[in-house]
Amino acid sequence: MSEVSEVSEVSELGEPREPTSSPTQTRAVLSCTGLARAFGALRAVDGVDLALPVGARHALIGPNGAGKSTLFQLLTGGLRPSAGRVWLDGRDVTRMSDARRARLGIGQTFQHSSLFLSMTAAENVALAVERARGAPWSPLPRQRPALRRRIDELLADVDLLARRDMPVSALSHGECRQLELALALAAAPRVLLLDEPAAGMAPAETERLAALIHELPTELTLLFVEHDLDLVFRLATRVTVLHLGKVLLSGTPEEVQGSAEVQEAYLGTGRRADLFVTDAGPERRDGDREAESP
């Protein structure tokens, strides 16, 4: 029997059985225990434990290749783990598809855009709203009054109502990222995973996005991967650092900023510099924003 088939018992219908939840899993809206994923001899994620309480603002950081994107896919259902479990509200969802996890309340944005460039901002949101309610797919859903109101609410939430009828191809990069946030919110998720939301943004666009994220409902649980450490330390109340697939440190922003181990993970063994803190506060990490390998 493979590692993947061992991670959860299943019923005769192929659905995960409801396991008895531990107190930690019950308190956390999203958690994982002993989560691992191997690609041949490479252990991209290696025994990760993580617990996100309701309303958490939790950042996941680490050098390129640390396993951040792989961990995201394991949590959302895009990849099956080699070992370990994923829990949503104390329910084992390890063997569930990404679509089913989305229906249960896990939303996400992606590192690379999935917008329809020839359609308007409103039409893109309409597709997301209709998909969330399980309606048959249509390239141009009829905008009933209720649907129109919902579209306008979501666009207003991300400060794009004035761009409602503008084709996506005419939006700036920052506005496209704002629109992707609206699409992720269309299903009213309880947990939202943001994969490098500020990637490629100009400083003014990052400021706008930071304000929008800050204004999201306090009951919405956020987990985000971001290379812009200034943004991380402004938005997160807890930070987990991955290195070589393992959790190097999980703590407050202040604990992470003061960690010699974390600085060495970024800069190399035996090297340490003021990577995170300057006289003006946390500083942005230099370097590229290329997608990490698994």
Give tens-digit pLDDT for 139-169: 665 668 889 999 999 999 999 999 999 999 9
Is pLDDT larger for residue 26 or for residue 54? 54
Residue 15 has pLDDT above 60, yes or no: no
Average pLDDT over residues 204-227: 95
Query: What is the DSSP code string of the chain?
Result: --HHHHSS-B-TTSPBP-PPPPHHHHHEEEEEEEEEEEETTEEEEEEEEEEEETT-EEEEE-STTSSHHHHHHHHHTSS--SEEEEEETTEE-TTS-HHHHHHHTEEEE-SS----TTSBHHHHHHHHHHHHTTPPP-SS----HHHHHHHHHHHHHTT-GGGTTSBGGGS-HHHHHHHHHHHHHTT--SEEEEESTTTT--HHHHHHHHHHHHTS-TTSEEEEE-S-HHHHHHH-SEEEEEETTEEEEEE-HHHHHT-HHHHHHHH-TT----SSEETTEE-PPPS--PPPP-
Average pLDDT over residues 224-253: 95
Percent of the chain with pLDDT over 90: 71
Average pLDDT over residues 35-39: 97
Is the domain of 10 the same as that of 101? yes
Query: What is the distance between the alpha carbons of residues 30 and 75, in angstroms, rounded to a whole number?
Result: 9
Is the domain of 150 the same as that of 209? no
pTM of the model: 0.80
CA dihedral 244, 250, 253, 259 (to 10 degrees): -60
Closest-CA residue to 106 (of 83, 122, 87): 87
Q: What is the pLDDT of residue 266?
A: 82
> pLDDT tens digits for 239-261?
999 999 999 999 999 999 999 99
**Could you give the number of structural domains in the chain?**
2
Reported as a pLDDT band with limits 50, 70 and 90, residue 291 is very low
Is the domain of 77 the same as that of 11? yes
Is the domain of 69 the same as that of 210? yes
291 lies in some domain: no
Average pLDDT of the residues of the chain? 84
Q: What is the pLDDT of residue 114?
A: 81
Residue 12 has pLDDT above 70, yes or no: no
Average pLDDT over residues 183-197: 95
The last residue of one of the domains, among 165, 186, 207, is 186
Is the domain of 75 the same as that of 218? yes
Q: What is the pLDDT of residue 132?
A: 87
Residues 235, 238, 244, CA angle at the centre, nearest 5°?
A: 110
Is the domain of 75 the same as that of 26? yes
110 lies in some domain: no
Is the domain of 87 the same as that of 169? no
213 lies in some domain: yes
Is the domain of 128 the same as that of 40? no
Is the domain of 274 the same as that of 214? yes
Is the domain of 265 the same as that of 213? yes
CATH of the domain at 224: 3.40.50.300
Is the domain of 222 the same as that of 96? yes
Reported as a pLDDT band with limits 50, 70 and 90, residue 89 is very high
> pLDDT tens digits for 110-132?
877 789 999 999 999 999 998 88
Range of the domain at 151: 115-186
CA dihedral 111, 116, 119, 124 (to 10 degrees): -60
